Homo-oligomer: A and B are copies of this chain.
């Protein structure tokens, strides 16, 4: 077993660059080694750091990160579709394709106890000098011509979460959509709603930079949740309850608020993760007393090569440009902790930072 340099959570609230992250001597036959070209930190990385990996203690001291694109530096003997030198996107969630869950159409939920995918927990994330992936043919996607690194890095989590979620919302052409929480995933959910044929798309947030980007991506109305009565105004402006509601932020109350502005027969898709002790409380009246045919879905980030190839096809064919999310750019692994601090400090001008490995 060799070692590689990586960014680890050293203690509650503290990240460090270390050089003793474990790396096998060689990849397994279906595996590959990848040298990162670009990383992007995620709220969930920051949350892990801030809580000292309270929820997942075995991650303490291990490398963080699940949003990375890189270059293949070594492949196992049984890798067919990739070769050394290929520039690739690495998925954040790595489904187990040889599993009964996969046969059930639910490969990404292979593990009941996963944090991010199944490869992550036992060996750490991708903010390392050399990253090892166990099934290259199934979990990597080549970065196609015309797609920049800045665009590609938004695929593994931002797009694979938002587009997966919105695809489950049952949005029909011209329907109205409300998006609660308009950070990076919410903004991609907005783009995904427009690319699903939504008519009116109203977003709820509070930061000016997010509202600006939302308007660029096709939001027709923006609402600040600090202003009292914003839910009532949303309903009044829309003229009727929304056909679909997407929750990408907020709190444990957001589900209930979303149901309140959702039509009977409509679908609410949640993409937020809830890790605390707080219960998600739903007022029966907001849920049609239990019989209003309002559907609630909690959708997780999708994974696998095909999904990433399709996200890349959206970019390559000019349907969406996710690099609009990038607000800060850093260079070198040593700047990762600084980038992560943006999250911990709730920087109001940040949507997504990226770090180039140069």
Task: Enumerate chain A interface residues (CB-CB to B < 8 A).
Answer: 97-98, 100-109, 112, 135, 137-138, 163, 167, 172-176, 192, 194-201, 218, 220, 252, 263-265, 270-276, 278-284, 287-301, 304-307, 309-314, 316-319
Cβ of A89 to closest chain B Cβ, rounded Å: 13
Bound CA span A318–B199, Å: 8
Cβ of A345 to closest chain B Cβ, rounded Å: 25
Q: What are the residues of chain B within 8 A of A138 when measuring CB–CB?
A: 98, 103
Q: What are the residues of chain B within 8 A of A288 when measuring CB–CB?
A: 109, 298, 300
Q: What are the residues of chain B within 8 A of A278 when measuring CB–CB?
A: 284
Q: What are the residues of chain B within 8 A of A218 when measuring CB–CB?
A: 317-319
Output the nearest chain B residue to A268 by Cβ-Cβ distance.
B296
Q: What are the residues of chain B within 8 A of A194 when measuring CB–CB?
A: 195, 319
- B280/A282 in contact, CB under 8 A: yes
Output the nearest chain B residue to A247 by Cβ-Cβ distance.
B290
Beyond the given A105-B265, A278-B284, could you list 9 further A-B residue pairs with CB under 8 A, ordered by the A residue number?
Answer: A97-B103, A98-B138, A167-B173, A173-B310, A173-B311, A175-B310, A196-B196, A282-B282, A293-B299
Q: What are the residues of chain B within 8 A of A176 when measuring CB–CB?
A: 313
Q: What are the residues of chain B within 8 A of A273 when measuring CB–CB?
A: 289-291
- B306/A298 in contact, CB under 8 A: no
Cβ of A333 to closest chain B Cβ, rounded Å: 28
Q: What are the residues of chain B within 8 A of A282 when measuring CB–CB?
A: 279-282
- A293/B103 in contact, CB under 8 A: no
Bound CA span A287–B247, Å: 15
- B296/A291 in contact, CB under 8 A: no
- A313/B195 in contact, CB under 8 A: no
Cβ of A55 to closest chain B Cβ, rounded Å: 9
Q: What are the residues of chain B within 8 A of A291 when measuring CB–CB?
A: 270-273, 298-301
Q: What are the residues of chain B within 8 A of A295 when measuring CB–CB?
A: 295-298
Of B106, B289, B301, the contact of A264 (CB 8 Å cutoff): B106
- B174/A310 in contact, CB under 8 A: yes
Output the nearest chain B residue to A303 by Cβ-Cβ distance.
B103
Complex A-B, nearest 4 residue pairs according to Cβ-Cβ distance, in ascending order: A174-B310, A199-B313, A291-B300, A274-B284
6 A-B pairs with CB atoms under 8 Å apart are A100-B305, A106-B265, A174-B311, A174-B313, A295-B296, A296-B297
Cβ of A155 to closest chain B Cβ, rounded Å: 10
Q: What are the residues of chain B within 8 A of A316 when measuring CB–CB?
A: 199
- B310/A199 in contact, CB under 8 A: yes
- A109/B195 in contact, CB under 8 A: no
Of B265, B274, B306, the contact of A290 (CB 8 Å cutoff): B274
Q: What are the residues of chain B within 8 A of A276 when measuring CB–CB?
A: 284
Cβ of A179 to closest chain B Cβ, rounded Å: 15
Bound CA span A311–B276, Å: 40
Bound CA span A313–B306, Å: 32
- B109/A292 in contact, CB under 8 A: yes
- B264/A112 in contact, CB under 8 A: yes
Cβ of A161 to closest chain B Cβ, rounded Å: 8
Cβ of A99 to closest chain B Cβ, rounded Å: 8
Q: Which of A98, A279, A298 has the most CB of B within 10 A?
A: A298
Cβ of A329 to closest chain B Cβ, rounded Å: 26
Q: What are the residues of chain B within 8 A of A304 when measuring CB–CB?
A: 103
Once A197-B196, A280-B281, A295-B296 are accepted as A-B contacts, the answer to whether A290 and B313 lie under 8 Å apart by CB is no
Q: What are the residues of chain B within 8 A of A192 when measuring CB–CB?
A: 173, 197
